[in-house]
């Protein structure tokens, strides 16, 4: 089919477009030369440089802490919001609620960052908290926009769940809290998990908002990368990028492999069950 092959061509051209820059970064991370245009032979010296740089290590650990904390809180807030949107039907203020959850997804970061900074300054003047800016304010900012993303993930997951399961548990005498703990949360777990991962990545990735709301002593990894990149070519950034890609890719491959294995096992069990049934019908 001509149309089919045209589409396939588009698809693979698109993938080439998406992955070419990443591949180039990986290759150049092993370039001994400092210059992009010159291939100076294979080397891993930029990796060594990366690990010896206390600034990079400090910023990385700061970013990881911020990401872990904000992702966890964002899952709670975004999870509640997603659940409410999907299951509470109509309630007073629903439109405003839904808009407040959609807007952070697309709000230009410069606006979000600036407005949060203005809030923090005003709050400090009025209630005396947060005193100064730093890790705490960055975490609050990240929770806010990450919660909106978590809400999207959880909302679609909840919409795909059979309401009758919760009702059945209720019917069998489970109290609301028990239903939440034994039925709803376990069923939502995959959605919450991917929401957490998404929030974690978003937090790790954010430069603009953090630049506005951070204070002295709290430099995140993207801020450090940005300052290095702005000064010109820095091969250790290539090494860092390669490490990030490696971690993400192995994470994805691992989860994909686990998913594939469970899926195959399920398919096998289903087939076996059908065979048994068929054998019984035959008798």
Per CB under 8 A, contacts with other proteins among 54-93 are: 76-78, 80-81, 83-84, 87-91, 93
Look up residue 261 and give its two tokens: 């294995």
Q: How many CB atoms lie within 10 A of CB 137?
A: 23
Least distance to other proteins from the beta carbon of 238, Å? 8
Only segment of 40-48, 64-72, 172-180, 266-274 that touches other proteins (CB under 8 A): 172-180
Q: Does 50 bind other proteins (CB under 8 A)?
A: no
The nearest distance, CB 249 to other proteins, in angstroms, is 7
**What burial class does residue 7 get, using C-beta atoms within 10 Å of its C-beta: 0-12 exposed, 13-18 middle, 19+ buried?**
exposed
Number of residues that bind other proteins (CB under 8 A): 97
Region 138-157 residues binding other proteins, contact defined as CB under 8 A: 140-141, 143-144, 147, 151, 155
Q: Are 235 and 31 in contact (CB under 8 A)?
A: yes
275/72 Cα distance (integer angstroms): 45
- Taking CB under 8 A as the criterion, the residue among 212, 218, 219, 236 binding other proteins is 212
> What residue has token string 């609050």?
140
Neighbours of 274 (CB within 10 A): 10
By CB under 8 A, name the one of 68, 69, 135, 245 that touches other proteins. Answer: 245
Q: Does 32 contact other proteins by CB under 8 A?
A: no
Give CA–CA dist 83/77, Å, rounded.
10
Residue among 4, 54, 128, 278 that touches other proteins (CB under 8 A): 4
Show the CA angle centred on residue 159, arms to residues 155 and 162, nearest 5°: 140
Q: Which of 32, 64, 69, 170 binds other proteins (CB under 8 A)?
A: 170
Nearest distance from residue 114's CB to other proteins, in Å? 5
DSSP class of 31:
B
């Amino acid at each position: 089919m001509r149309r089919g092959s045209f589409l396939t061509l588009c698809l693979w051209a698109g993938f080439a477009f998406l992955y070419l820059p990443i591949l180039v970064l990986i290759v150049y991370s092993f370039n001994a030369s400092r210059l992009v245009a010159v291939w100076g032979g294979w080397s891993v010296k930029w990796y060594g440089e990366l690990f010896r740089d206390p600034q990079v290590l400090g910023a990385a650990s700061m970013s990881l802490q911020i990401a872990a904390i904000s992702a966890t809180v964002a899952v709670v807030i975004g999870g509640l919001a997603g659940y409410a949107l999907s299951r509470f039907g109509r309630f007073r203020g629903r439109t405003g609620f839904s808009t407040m959850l959609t807007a952070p997804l697309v709000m230009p970061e410069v606006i979000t960052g600036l407005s949060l900074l203005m809030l923090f300054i005003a709050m400090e003047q009025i209630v005396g908290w947060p005193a100064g800016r730093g890790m705490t304010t960055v975490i609050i900012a990240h929770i806010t926009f990450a919660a909106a993303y978590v809400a999207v993930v959880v909302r679609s997951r909840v919409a795909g769940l059979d309401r009758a399961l919760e009702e059945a548990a209720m019917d069998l005498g489970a109290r609301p809290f028990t239903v939440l703990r034994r039925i709803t949360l376990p069923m939502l777990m995959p959605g919450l998990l991917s929401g957490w991962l998404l929030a974690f990545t978003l937090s790790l990735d954010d430069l603009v908002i953090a630049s506005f709301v951070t204070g002295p002593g709290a430099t995140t990894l993207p801020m450090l990368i940005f300052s290095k990149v702005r000064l010109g070519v820095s091969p250790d950034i290539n090494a860092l990028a390669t490490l990030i890609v490696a971690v993400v890719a192995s994470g994805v491959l691992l989860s994909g492999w686990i998913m594939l294995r469970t899926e195959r096992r399920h398919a096998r069990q289903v087939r076996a069950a059908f065979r048994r049934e068929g054998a019984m019908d035959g008798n």
